[in-house]
Structure 1
Amino acid sequence: MDNDISNFDLNLLKAFDALLDEQSVTAAAKRLNLTQPAVSGMLSRLRDHFDDQLFIRNQRGITPTKRAKELSLPIKQLLNDAKLMMQPVVFEPNQSTAQFRIAASDYAIKTVILPLIQLLRAQAPHIRIAVLDVEPDQIYAQLETGALDFALVTPEQTHESLYSQHLFEEHYICAVHQQHEFAQRHQLTLADFCTQPYVLVSQQGDAFQGIVDQLLATHGLQREVVLSLHSFLVLPELLASTDLFAIMPSRLIPQDAELKVLDIPLAIPTFHKCLVWHAHTHHHAPHQWLRQLIGSIYHDLAK
């Protein structure tokens, strides 16, 4: 008897199961779509492996031995488990309790996570989402180890080995309280642009210069930044209650905000937001479903 499974042909288990059910070599061969000599050969190999006759010939076919009867349930369970394992995974969102970890900035929380949660509450109310800070230098390692399932980043923050799905392109606008004296204008001149007090959002919250200031410098100009924040989320409320101006992504302006949007007299580059994930989750049904759901938010908006 050989106990090394690496030397065992698992197809022999299918032959065993057919012989057990049919109790006839001929009938088992027909069920397996094999010749009778082929099944007889498989039975011989089974006998060698289990060191037992397994099936004894009788007038009507074959009868299982005591050892064969002992093996019948484990082998049937093994074959059934293998069959289930080979079936496509059916993901039921409305019943799933899956948990996903997504790295997102405050901007991505507002523009992606918020509409995502609204969809999940309607389609998959038991799925849980954990939102973590974006650490650009750690994204690949976190996705590779499973510490993250997804990251919402710009293309510059991703890694060439990661899968990526483009979500949208964003542009900047200038916002100010709707009662400000400049709110009646559609566009500012560069001179007017530079004379106003600004709030600036930077990654650390302690910078008083950004890309806008770099562009102004090419014209020999500068503006006055009086407040630096690390988050965009408070900007609408701040602008609505002060005389400050802000250059901010257009999607952060609430529809009901008491703000006026002005055109910027500078060509500020747009940026792109994408969803990234690692290869080891690429074919996982729950991950596929969530990726499609996130993508649908912006596909529908683009129509």
Structure 2
Amino acid sequence: MKKNFDLNLYRFLVVLYEKRTQAKVTFYLSISRATFQRYLAECREIFGNELFIANNKVYEPTLLASQIVSRVKDSLEQLEDSEFLVQSFGLNNKSLNFEFHMPSMLSEIFAIPIIQGLKSINDNVKITFLDWSQDAIEYPKKERIVIGVTSYPSEVSERVIERRLGELPLNVCLSERHRCASMEQVSLSDLNNDPSVRVTMGELDNSEHYQTLKRRTGIQLKQNLTVATVSTAFQCVKMNNNVFVTLGIKEDAVPDGVVMRPLILDGQPMLFDLGIQFHRIWYQHPVISQVEGILVKAFSDIYK
């Protein structure tokens, strides 16, 4: 084995071990397919081992590859993260690049408060909002502070720190023609088997999240209509008399022809717990504390 080993090859091995496909590795590392093949060939020559066996475009690690990754993974992460962390002790750093991942409904609530909060401290900060992605949070791109906001608790790996942010009351939006529109508050049982419309939650659509309510209450809405935005959901309420369970929307955002009522269960307000997720390298970092403060303030503004 060479005495001087390129650390980029170690990083390549770790990423290939975690991602398992050429497409995911080339995207994550921003390399070409030719570079992928060159890196893999170099690693195989250096270690005298196949390292990964390709089967239906999936690269399965050999025992030696697994052993190598287990030895170098943590040390490599620390080396890659240390320089960026040293340069990013506070929000005043001009090179900060934030990437927020949250379902579109939550983005409707928190995007503007986050932008205003961050820009009020540092007008040069870069901010991107994307749909919620567990993969992006677990494996953040270099020099990006990746933060997720979604339901709490969520299923996360040991690489991710999750903390509860707070709770939001659930409301139901109804057409003025709906039989429950005249009620001051609506019980979930009043909507049993009503056709509903919901806004997609991206990757979370395939999680256990949507089964939790049914297990807890025995009540199920007919979820046969899913749309991409809140505005489209409102149109479905007006035109098709669907019910739309939502959170955090203010009264002045509700369009004409639609009413919004608090949603209750067994006489008590229904609440939705939210949490923040980020990679463990950011644990107790000042930047995360400042972002949490912005989100908590957004919560308090919703309740005003």
TM-score by length of 2: 0.52
Give distance in 1, aligned partners of 2:158 and 2:234.
36
Whether the 8 Å CA contact 1:174–1:245 is kept in 2: the answer is yes
Letter in 1 for 2:138: A
Residue number in structure 2 paired with 1:261 = 260
The counterpart of 2:149, out of the listed 130, 147, 152, is 152
When Rg is computed on C-alpha atoms for both structures, the one with the higher figure is 1
Cross-structure match for 1:116: 114
Deviation at 1:116, TM superposition (A): 0.9
Q: Shift in Å at residue 176 of structure 1?
A: 0.7
The answer as to 2:172 corresponding to 1:164 is no
Structure 1 unmatched ranges of 5 or more: 1-86
1:99 maps onto 2:104 in alignment: no
Identical pairs, percent: 13
Distance 1:286 1:203, change over 3 A: closer
Q: Is the 8 A contact 1:139 1:158 kept in 2?
A: no
Once residues 296 and 217 of structure 1 are traced to their aligned partners in structure 2, the CA distance between those partners, rounded to angstroms, is 31
Determine if contact 1:236/1:254 at 8 Å carries over to the other structure. no
Question: What is the aligned partner in structure 2 of residue 173 from structure 1?
Answer: 171
Q: Does 1:290 align with 2:287?
A: no
1:247 to 222, 245, 249: 245
Name which of 139, 148, 172 aligns with 1:142. Answer: 139
What is residue 214 of structure 1 aligned with on the other side? Answer: 214
Deviations 1:213-232 (A, max 9, x none): 8369947xx65555233554
> Are the equivalent residues in 1 in contact too, given 2:138–2:278 (CA < 8 A)?
no
Cα deviation digits, residues 34-61 of structure 1 (max 9, x gap): xxxxxxxxxxxxxxxxxxxxxxxxxxxx
Q: Provide the aligned length of Structure 1 versus Structure 2.
A: 211
Q: CA deviation at 1:106?
A: 0.7
User: Which residues in structure 2 correspond to 1:196-215 (within 5 Å)?
Assistant: 196-203=194-201, 210-211=210-211, 214=214
Name the SS of the counterpart of 2:154 in structure 1: helix
Task: Give 2:275's aligned amino acid.
Answer: C
What CA distance in whole angstroms lies between the structure 1 residues aligned with 2:280 and 2:187?
A: 49
Q: 1:246 to 1:117 in 2, by over 3 A?
A: same
| SS of residue matched to 1:271 | strand
Structure 2 gap segments, 5+ residues each: 1-85
Answer whether contact 2:104 2:228 (CA < 8 A) is retained: no
CA–CA separation in structure 2 for the residues paired with 1:90 and 1:236: 42
Aligned to 2:273: 272
Q: What SS does the corresponding residue of 2:100 show, helix, strand or coil? A: strand
Distance 1:247 1:273 in 2: 16
Q: Report deviation, 1:99.
A: 1.3
In structure 2, the CA distance between the partners of 1:282 and 1:211, relative to structure 1 (3 Å rule), is: closer
Amino acid at match of 2:293: Q
AA aligned opposite 2:127: I
- Name the CA distance, whole Å, in 2 between partners of 1:117 and 1:253: 19
For 1:274, what is the secondary structure of its paired residue?
Answer: strand
CA distance in 1, matches of 2:199, 2:87: 47
Distance (Å, rounded) in 1 between the aligned partners of 2:97 and 2:139: 16
Question: Which residue identity is paired with 1:214?
Answer: K
